[in-house]
Structure 1
Amino acid sequence: MIDTPLIRRSLLVLGLLGAAGLSGPALADGQPTVEQVAGMQKQLADWPQLARYRADNATLPAPTAGKPRVVFYGDSITDAWGRNHNGSVFFPGKDYVNRGISGQTTAQMLVRFRQDVIDLKPAAVVILAGTNDIAGNTGEATPAMIEDNLRSMTELAKANGIKVVLASVLPASDYPWRPGREPAPKIRALNGWLQQYASQVGATYLDYYSAMDDGQGGLPKRLSADGVHPNAAGYAIMAPLAEQAVQAALAR
């Protein structure tokens, strides 16, 4: 039997409804729908979503000489890159592997870092994360908590000989699924820390923010339909910046 009150308490604590993309209308009595309950049960059974890429990782061939593998690691902004825009290929001709999962926070990404990054034996990793922590997708996260998770991912990568690119969080003036959280100043503060930390530990800082800010801490409409996720024009700005940062990291 489904313990609906327990599930509803879990939603309040973990914010799984928005994190799982399950923010559709509930039943008239305020209870979650059957589809929402099934999605929540699935999310709770595999919180870091280790199953998402397990089969893909098992069939991924080893890197080839002279063609450095790079893992792009993140949330929905990475997940959608090269998948949802006119069938475009993710960095054609490159051994660049997309390991983004929509809705994820840095805590979830840290849990799956060994499986989805280290075990793929990349030369470098591009980490783009933090906006979902600020949104509270898996509960409230302090700046220190976000920073600790990013530090841990960086340290794991460096301990395994993987060059690290730390990407700035993209601008956002609001979150459609969690309105009213005023993320813009929090994103600016996190990016300031990311830049400083990258310099401190010898990682490469990738500044998407400056190229995409509308001047008020948000994404301009020409680059995003919802103010959070880039459209094709947004990814067209990000791609050369990412490539430049990857090459700089590999040259270190």
Structure 2
Amino acid sequence: MNTIVALGDSITYGYPYTPDMSWVRLTGAELGLTLLNKGVNGDSTAGMLARFKRDVIAHSPSHVIILGGTNDACARVAAEAVAAQVRQMAELALQYQITPLIGLPVPGNYPPDEAYLDLYRQDMRDYALACKLTVIDFYAAFKASAAWRTLYADVLHPNAAGYRVMAAAAAPVINSMLM
């Protein structure tokens, strides 16, 4: 049985709901798997890196989904710092024979945050391509909907429909990784 950890911030956690409404649980239910939700409200990529051993390595998963950056964008953290932290998490995973998947953050509904998120996404795409890592493109899944701005509970967090869109993006990628 594969163990998959989803590491992230409030968007992984399922805020403003509980983890039962998160894309993590919805994806697991669709695939008949248990995904460990290690989303922490308000966390940054630096915080995710700091808890990586406890929240990921300690569970000896086969895979980890790394999804962060939204709170970094709110705090205007430089793209280079976010990219370095995502790379360190992926490299740590690989050191422990854990397959990392890089989640691209959903679109920001606030233009100044989106400017940062766009830089983060590009760095994540480039890194994943260079290292032949799998990407879960939550951004493209949201943008594929003509009414993507209706997928939010507030300016940052998906609503129930938004979390379903995220699960629909994650499930086929995870399924193909496990086959």
Does the TM-score normalized on the shorter chain lie above 0.5?
Answer: yes
After superposition, where does 1:37-52 map in structure 2 within 5 Å?
A: none
User: Structure 1 residue 239 and structure 2 residue 175: aligned?
Assistant: no
CA distance in structure 2 between the aligned counterparts of 1:89 and 1:150, rounded to whole angstroms: 23
Structure having the higher helix fraction is: 2
CA distance in 1, matches of 2:119, 2:154: 22
1:146 to 59, 82, 94: 82
Match of residue 133, structure 2, among 203, 210, 214: 203
Equivalent residue for 1:185?
115
The structure showing larger relative contact order (alpha-carbon pairs under 8 Å, at least 6 residues apart) is 2
Alpha-carbon distance between aligned partners in 1 of 2:143 and 2:20, rounded to the nearest angstrom? 22
Q: Structure 1 unaligned segments of length 5 or more: list them.
A: 1-66, 175-180
- Name the counterpart of 1:126: 65
What's the CA shift for 1:202?
2.0
- In structure 1, how many angstroms separate the alpha carbons of the residues matched to 2:21 and 2:178? 28
Residue identity (%): 31
Q: TM-score, normalised by structure 1?
A: 0.63
Q: What letter matches 1:165 in structure 2?
A: L
Q: Which amino acid counterpart does residue 172 of structure 1 have in structure 2?
A: G
Matched, 1:194 2:124: yes
> Letter of the aligned partner of 2:65 in structure 1?
V
Give the corresponding residue for 1:36.
none
Pairing partner for 2:11 from 61, 77, 94: 77
Task: Work out the number of aligned pairs and report it.
Answer: 173
Tell me, in whole angstroms, the C-alpha distance in 1 between the residues paired with 2:20 and 2:35.
Answer: 17
| Structure 1 equivalent of residue 103 of structure 2 | 167
Distance 1:132 1:123 in 2: 27
Alignment CA distance shift 1:117-1:80 (3 Å): same
CA contact (8 A) 1:105 1:133 kept: yes
Residue of structure 2 in register with 1:116 after alignment: 55
Higher strand fraction (1 or 2) = 2
Once the two structures are TM-superposed, the CA of residue 89 in structure 1 deviates from its matched residue by 5.0
- 1:239 Cα offset (Å): 0.8
Please identify the structure whose Cα radius of gyration is greater: 1
Name the Cα RMSD after superposition.
Answer: 2.5
Which residue of the partner structure matches residue 16 of structure 1?
none
